[in-house]
C-alpha cells in the first residue's frame, strides 16, 4: 500500500509519496497547480 501527501497552494502542488512504510522510503515531486501539472502528477504516481 502506498500513501501520498499533497500540499496545495495557488501556484504548485508539493507531493510526497511514501513507498515503504517500515523504512520510510519516499519520493517527492513538485508540479504546477494546473491541468498539465495534475496530469503529470497522475502519470508520476502510476509509475
Interatomic CA distance for residues 29 and 8, integer angstroms = 12
Q: In tens digits, what is the pLDDT along the chain, a chain of 47 residues?
A: 778 899 999 999 999 988 877 777 888 999 999 999 999 999 988 88
Query: What grid cell was written down for 27?
Result: 519520493
> Which pLDDT score is estimated for 9?
96
**Ranges of each domain in the chain:** 3-46
pLDDT of residue 10: 96
pLDDT for 31 = 96
Strands annotated E in 1-47: 3-8, 12-20, 25-32
Q: What pLDDT was estimated at residue 12?
A: 97
Amino acid at each position: 500500500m502506498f500513501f501520498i501527501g499533497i500540499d496545495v497552494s495557488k501556484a504548485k502542488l508539493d507531493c510526497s509519496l511514501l513507498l515503504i512504510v517500515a523504512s520510510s522510503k519516499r519520493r517527492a515531486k513538485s508540479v504546477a497547480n494546473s491541468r498539465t501539472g495534475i496530469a503529470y502528477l497522475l502519470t508520476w504516481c502510476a509509475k
